[in-house]
């Protein structure tokens, strides 16, 4: 049963495409694969730490004030990660900007704290956090793949032949994020409908 | 005065929180189904953004900076916003039960609206003074309100349109938002 907690976040309950949580960072930072990777890893680290900690204190926290407590725990870990990124990778910190402190209000993290870590053992909570984090990273990378390829003709900063000739700049601006995410959501729904129809 | 007006116009049209900076998308997609709830949510968010922007600026300026605790910004701000939302909820419940009824569900959700924390962090990052912070926060809130009601009025019409099954709901809402964001790019260079 425990190993299932790891894999469900990656596909069956993928945070980006299935539950549609944390859309703001999903759309805002997916202008390049590098940003998506950085954001995915930062969010995963916060998620693992907060899930573990909340799971450990789940029996001490009174039910009435659990949400403020969870938010404080998450905010603390976000601050730590934010300062670590600033110290060791200033370039990434620059390009992600306020979206690193905004991990605090990313619904995935509070959602997993409330829905999973507050009810399950520390080990299960860590597995759940890793699975959800990887799922989030995959979701971000899917969107960033199309946006960076079409908008800049590059992937991870490397120029791709043919695409780099005449990139559509709009894809790396705000509208591109909406278009790509909307179309990917529609594609997923289409595949589901086809499977159900058979 | 012109300078403050420029900040307000920039925050509403040029750097619209939803359509340009991509903040607060969850409520933007979530409550833009109906006009009534969009107006309620828009007003509540505008109000909270204004008060939160000003109060976080004051706390940062008069508490965190003198004590050299700037690294606690994120924690302090989210705490202020959460208690502010709770406080406003209690005040509205006491003084205007009708309004409370209308906003009810949306009020607690504002805490996790990233536009609110976003405006607080951006005010500090841009080095605004108190007056500029007030106008930027107000503009941010009004921009959110504007985007939300435009989106709600489009989506009310979209309900009647014939769409492929897989495009219904969130996908077409996102595509619409994309077209809206493209239109808002036309404002660039206004100020």
Model pLDDT for residues A118-163, shown as the tens digit of each residue: 888 998 899 989 999 998 999 899 899 999 988 888 888 777 778 7
Tokens found for residue B35:
């006009």
B95 touches chain A (CB under 8 A): no
Cβ contacts of B12 within 8 Å, gap of 6 or more: B139, B142, B143, B146
**B140, two tokens:** 């941010």
d(CA B29, CA B46): 17
Tell me the per-residue pLDDT of B50-92, one tens digit each, with 9 for 90 and over.
999 999 999 999 998 899 888 888 899 998 998 888 888 888 8
The structure tokens 């450990």 sit at A56
Name the residue in chain B with its Cα closest to that of A181: B174
Largest CA distance in chain A: 59
Residue reference for tokens 């997923």: A188
Q: What is the pTM of this model?
A: 0.87
Chain B residues lying within 8 Å of A172, measured CB to CB: none
Euclidean distance between CA atoms A29 and A95, whole angstroms: 8
Of B125, B166, B175, the CB nearest to A189: B166
Residue pair B138/B8 in contact by the 8 Å Cβ criterion: yes
Are the C-beta atoms of B28 and B148 separated by less than 8 Å?
Answer: yes
Residue B104: the pLDDT is 63
Which among A68, A78, A190 has the least Cβ separation from residue B74? A78
pLDDT tens-place values along chain A, 198 residues long: 567 777 777 777 777 777 667 777 888 888 889 889 999 999 999 999 999 999 999 888 888 788 888 888 999 999 999 999 999 989 888 888 888 888 888 888 888 888 888 888 998 899 989 999 998 999 899 899 999 988 888 888 777 778 777 888 888 888 888 999 999 888 888 888 888 876
Which positions in chain A touch B166 (Cβ < 8 Å)? 186-187, 189-190, 193
Chain A residues with CB-CB distance to B111 below 8 A = 71, 105
């Amino acid at each position: 049963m425990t190993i299932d907690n790891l894999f469900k976040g990656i596909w069956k309950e993928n945070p980006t495409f299935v539950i549609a949580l944390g859309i703001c960072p999903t759309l805002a930072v997916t202008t390049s694969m590098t940003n998506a990777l950085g954001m995915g890893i930062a969010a995963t680290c916060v998620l693992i730490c907060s899930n573990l900690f909340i799971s450990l204190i789940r029996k001490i926290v009174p039910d009435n004030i659990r949400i403020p407590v969870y938010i404080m725990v998450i905010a603390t870990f976000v601050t730590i990660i934010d300062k670590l990124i600033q110290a060791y990778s200033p370039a990434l910190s620059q390009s992600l900007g306020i979206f690193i402190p905004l991990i605090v209000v990313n619904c995935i993290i509070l959602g997993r704290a409330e829905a999973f870590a507050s009810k399950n053992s520390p080990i299960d909570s860590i597995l759940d956090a890793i699975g959800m984090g990887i799922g989030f990273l995959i979701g971000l990378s899917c969107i960033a793949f199309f946006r960076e390829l079409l908008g800049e003709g590059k992937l991870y900063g490397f120029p791709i032949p043919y695409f780099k000739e005449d990139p559509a700049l709009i894809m790396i601006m705000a509208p591109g994020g909406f278009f790509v995410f909307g179309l990917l959501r529609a594609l997923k729904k289409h595949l589901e409908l086809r499977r159900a129809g058979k | 005065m012109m300078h403050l007006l420029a900040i307000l116009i920039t925050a509403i049209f040029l750097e619209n929180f939803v359509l340009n900076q991509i903040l607060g998308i969850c409520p933007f997609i979530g409550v833009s189904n109906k006009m009534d709830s969009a107006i309620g949510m828009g007003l509540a968010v505008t109000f909270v953004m204004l008060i939160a922007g000003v109060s976080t600026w004051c706390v940062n300026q008069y508490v965190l900076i003198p004590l050299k605790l700037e690294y606690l910004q994120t924690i302090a701000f989210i705490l202020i916003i959460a208690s502010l939302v709770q406080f406003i909820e209690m005040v509205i419940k006491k003084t205007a039960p009708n309004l409370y009824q209308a906003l009810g569900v949306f009020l607690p959700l504002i805490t996790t609206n990233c536009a609110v924390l976003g405006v607080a962090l951006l005010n500090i990052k841009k080095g605004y003074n108190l007056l500029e912070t007030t106008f930027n926060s107000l503009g941010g809130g009004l921009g959110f309100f504007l985007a939300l009601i435009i989106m709600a009025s489009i989506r009310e019409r979209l309900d009647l349109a014939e769409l492929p099954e897989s495009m219904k709901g969130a996908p077409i809402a996102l595509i619409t938002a994309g077209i809206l964001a493209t239109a808002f790019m036309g404002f660039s260079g206004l100020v």
